[in-house]
Amino acid sequence: MTILKVFYAFKNPETENEKSILKCAKKKGLSQENIYCFNQDDWIWAIQNISYAKSIPDIMVFDKTGKLLKYREESQCNGQAFSFISSLTKDNRYDYDTLILMKDLKNKLYDIKGKKVSFEANDSTDYFVFIYWAVWIGRLNKNHVKVWENDAKNNSNCNIEVIKINMDMQEWWEQH
């Protein structure tokens, strides 16, 4: 474990705030837009009930109707996310996962200052890629999260919107 911690630059999870989250995003080359988080209760709900939120980093992909696409079996690692995001097209048909609908997830989002957000889907968007990430995962932000974000941005076969959900404990939780 110590070797992995050093190799991936993992650190012990700490309470983060807007400044530290944006600093990490900038350092790892992530877009500083579309970064959201959960309140404390929904954070607990996510790590207890959503396998994707437990295995950080990971993704969830929803189609324009808000249905969750099944990009891997639950027992598989997130490695398939790399080819899956790049292969998304408007015309392909995908299997669905019944774990959650996008409307149920987007209603739980806050900005990284702790303000409830009203998330409105753009009509021209074909897919929504929710990326679960955290400051403490170190290099995985650069060699997973950044790659997934770029794969979505560079996919010319469809219009993809990326929503990054920061899974660090939030400083603003103490104020609510």
pLDDT digits (tens, 9 = 90+) for 112-136: 999 999 877 778 999 999 999 999 8
Cβ neighbours of 98 (radius 10 Å): 8
Per-residue pLDDT tens digits for 132-152: 999 988 778 788 999 999 999
Does the pLDDT at position 43 exceed 60? yes
**Please, how many CA atoms are within 13 Å of residue 167, restricted to the half-sphere of its CB?**
24
Q: Is the confidence at residue 172, as pLDDT, over 90?
A: yes
Q: Are the CB atoms for 130 and 60 separated by under 8 Å?
A: yes
User: How many domains are there within the chain?
Assistant: 1
Q: Which domain holds residue 163?
A: 24-169
The reported pLDDT for the residue numbered 7 is: 44
pLDDT in tens, 55-104: 889 999 999 999 999 988 777 777 788 889 999 999 999 999 988 999 99
Residue 175 inside a domain? The answer is no
| 12: pLDDT strictly greater than 80 | no
Q: What is the Rg, in whole angstroms, of the alpha carbon atoms belonging to the chain?
A: 15
Which two three-digit tokens encode residue 72? Answer: 């891997």
Residue 37 lies in a domain: yes
Residue 15 covered by a domain: no
Q: Give residue 174's pLDDT.
A: 86
Relative to beta strand 127-133, strand 160-166 is parallel
Q: pTM for the whole thing?
A: 0.90
Token code pair at residue 115: 């303000």
Answer whether residue 133 is part of any domain.
yes
> Could you say which DSSP state residue 125 is in?
-
Instruction: Give a yes or no: residue 11 inside a domain.
Output: no
